[in-house]
Chains A and B, each alone.
Chain A
Amino acid sequence: MNRLEQSSLYQLTIVRFRLILREPEAIFWIFIFPILLAVGLGIAFRNRPADVLRVGATTGQLARALAEDKGLSASTMDEVRGAKALATGNILLLAIESPAGVTYKFDDTNPDARTARMLVDRDLQAAAGQRDAVHVQNQLVHETGSRYIDFVIPGLLGMNLMGSAMWGLGFSIVEARQKKLLKRLVASPMPRWQYLMSFILSRLAMLVLEVLAFLGFARLVFGVPFRGPLWQLGFLCVLTSLAFSALGLLVASRAKNMEVVSGLMNLVMLPMWILSGIFFSASRFPIVIQPLVRALPLTAAIDAMRGNMLQGMSLGQLGIPVAILTAWLVAAFGVSLRIFRWR
């Protein structure tokens, strides 16, 4: 134990660890924030019985024809009140009886309103005597793993690993440079590689806690599935964290003060927050920018984690995202070591 305590790599690493743990804000962002986000999204997008759609009708006769439908809640109102209710979003559709028949007033860009139009029309046509030409039956499926929360948990995990690795490295290094601590360390016989290594070691130690806390929560509270091998998921988390640590090192390698590094960090992370498919699938972006979207390290990380957790894919099947992450790791680390400013 005593020999270990005298080792400079041990001292540098334990100092990093102490500094992280003594920073209450850091603890919040690393541990609490992703869980709060998951809870918020879990509540907002929880799977509910299909929504009851609120509609209005100008006559009691129309309203009665709609009353039978469990998917609709119809109320009678005159045209003026109905228009107002439409404008404020209280109803999705207003059915107006006219001498020529019925007019539907609704916003056709709102999917719920389009659904309401179909239901209302079907009910009114049936009330008027239309019959189904084909007999149909429904079979309902609610499977874990296909819910929104299952989709978003790997996204949040990737986002969290990116944030903690980049801020953790970038901020601490630039702070040490700004406060002339870096210069003071370089004036001592400290081996420089050990300084950088201490960041990586403390990052990996934090990673274990961070990932266990977040995924444990997702498992216990939301029952998110882990279909792939867990050790491979662990490997993906380590690779992701290392790639973003390297990127954080690169961003911090020359910045002289916190303002510069904050700007650079946001510049690097913002495109990934938007494009990498944290909250929705990255394939929604136009085909022309897909090569760019796919090349981003966060896209690769999230794809790989979704593949592992949701589809049970093995590392062998995740070759492309793993290769992209590795390429980022090697390139960013290589460049930053060359251009790093030690004072």
Chain B
Amino acid sequence: MTDLQTGVIPTPERGSRSPSLKLSGLRKAFGDVVAVDGLDLEVASGECFGLLGPNGAGKTTTIEICEGLTEPDAGQVQLLGLDWNTGARALRQRIGVQLQETQFPDKLTVEETLRLFRSFYRQGISVDESIRTAQLEEKRGARVGTLSGGQKQRLAMACALVGDPELLFLDEPTTGLDPQARRHLWDLVDQLKLAGRTIILTTHYMEEAERLCDRVAIIDHGRVIARGTVQQLIASVGAEHVVEFAVTGEERSHGVVNAAALLAIPGIQSHRVDAGLHQLSVSELHVAVPRIFAALSAQGLHLSEFRTHSASLEDVFVGLTGRNLRDE
């Protein structure tokens, strides 16, 4: 696994000041399990940065080290020019945190919960404003126990926002939400981005990273295996389209595809098989597809499935690790 473009991607222009977050050589093990294994990262001010990876890749451990909740075994963490050893009190006032699976007390109302969290911060937005931002006006007096999953997640966001943080950490903000609630939350993150906050979020949904993040780091087994803008990462696959097909063969060929014949077709960059489904990275779809048909038919194979899509972060991950993001 190689770091695709170390030094290739310049820090984005708008981060003219010192980075909001800088991690170097971060390492953390829980017993025998190495969760974070030498991780380096820089996030510029005003950026929305995504940590993308499968479950168990070390995203949550990384973000909790950043939040000062977990002590790293080795490595440096710098946030807003401060570190947790000397600047913890100041940092707590300046960051906002939304953790995975926090359950707020069911018997408190939305407003009471936010009033409580607001009281911890010296400066911040009003409770009313946080309720408005999270679009929970109608639920202001409702008990937390009666909220839907999406509303609870927006409440968690509102709790992260009441201190008017410069740096916002969102750990899997949409996991477990239905598509509509997810889109609703994305809109909320969009607003926060427009307001110029620095946001660091983890996700294992590539659509989420593609939709929200200015830059993404793909994490696997506790290391960054690729980083850059979504466009740069997709370009790194080497082809902008993916063709997927499955075949049923005649007796004599036993349904075995001759991969060399496919790779000989101009515009086809790579071929892999996953559970009977063949995947090709293709640069010129209109030229390649007729030839793929011809090649398969020449091998005496019949297509039982055929589809194409534009290359996505999923394909970047598959290309780098040979596994699907959702496998784990």
Binding site for B on A (CB under 8 A): 5-8, 10-12, 15, 18-19, 22-23, 179-181, 183-184, 186-190, 343
Contact = CB atoms under 8 A, between A and B. Distances in A.
Per DSSP, chain B at the interface is: loop
Interface in B230-281: none
Contacts of B107: 18-19, 22-23
A180 B60 CA distance: 14
Given A7-B119, A8-B120, A343-B69, A189 B92 contact: yes
B93 interface: yes
Contact of A184 (B68, B102, B112, B122): B102
B101 interface: yes
A187 B67 contact: yes
Contact of A181 (B93, B105, B122): B105
A15 B99 contact: no
B126 to A, nearest CB: 11
Interface string B116-156: 11111110000000000000000000000000000000000
B294 interface: no
B102 A179 contact: yes
A186 B120 contact: no
A164 B249 CA distance: 74
A190 B93 CA distance: 9
Contact of A18 (B89, B112, B120): B112
Contacts of B115: 5, 11
Given A15-B108, A187-B69, A188-B163, A180 B116 contact: no
Interface in B42-63: none
Given A187-B99, A188-B163, A12 B116 contact: yes
B103 interface: yes
17 contacts: A6-B118, A7-B119, A8-B116, A8-B119, A8-B120, A15-B116, A18-B112, A19-B108, A179-B103, A181-B104, A184-B99, A184-B104, A184-B159, A187-B67, A188-B121, A189-B121, A190-B120
Interface residues of B, number: 27
Contacts of B201: none
A334 B100 CA distance: 32
Interface of B: 67-69, 89, 92-93, 97, 99-105, 107-108, 112, 115-122, 159, 163
Contacts of A8: 116, 119-120
B116 A187 contact: no
B102 A183 contact: yes
B102 A18 contact: no
B97 A187 contact: yes
B119 A11 contact: yes
Contact of A188 (B104, B105, B108, B117): B117
Nearest to A21: B107
Contacts of B112: 15, 18
Contacts of A11: 115-116, 119
A192 to B, nearest CB: 11
Nearest to B94: A189
A5 B115 CA distance: 9
Contacts of B67: 187
A184 B119 contact: no
B99 A180 contact: yes
A183 B163 contact: no
A240 B103 CA distance: 32
Contact of B108 (A5, A7, A10, A18): A18
A179 to B, nearest CB: 4
Contacts of B99: 180, 183-184, 187
Contacts of B120: 8, 188-190
Contacts of A187: 67-69, 92, 97, 99
A181 B103 contact: yes
B102 A181 contact: yes
Nearest to B67: A187
B180 to A, nearest CB: 25
A30 to B, nearest CB: 16
A140 B199 CA distance: 84
10 nearest interchain CB pairs? A179-B103, A189-B92, A11-B119, A8-B119, A22-B107, A187-B97, A184-B102, A190-B120, A188-B120, A11-B116
A188 B92 contact: yes
A179 B237 CA distance: 41
Contacts of A179: 102-103
A189 B93 contact: yes
Contacts of A184: 97, 99, 102, 104, 159
Among B69, B112, B116: residue with most chain A CB under 10 A: B116
B62 to A, nearest CB: 15
A186 B102 CA distance: 12
A148 B68 CA distance: 58
Contacts of A23: 107
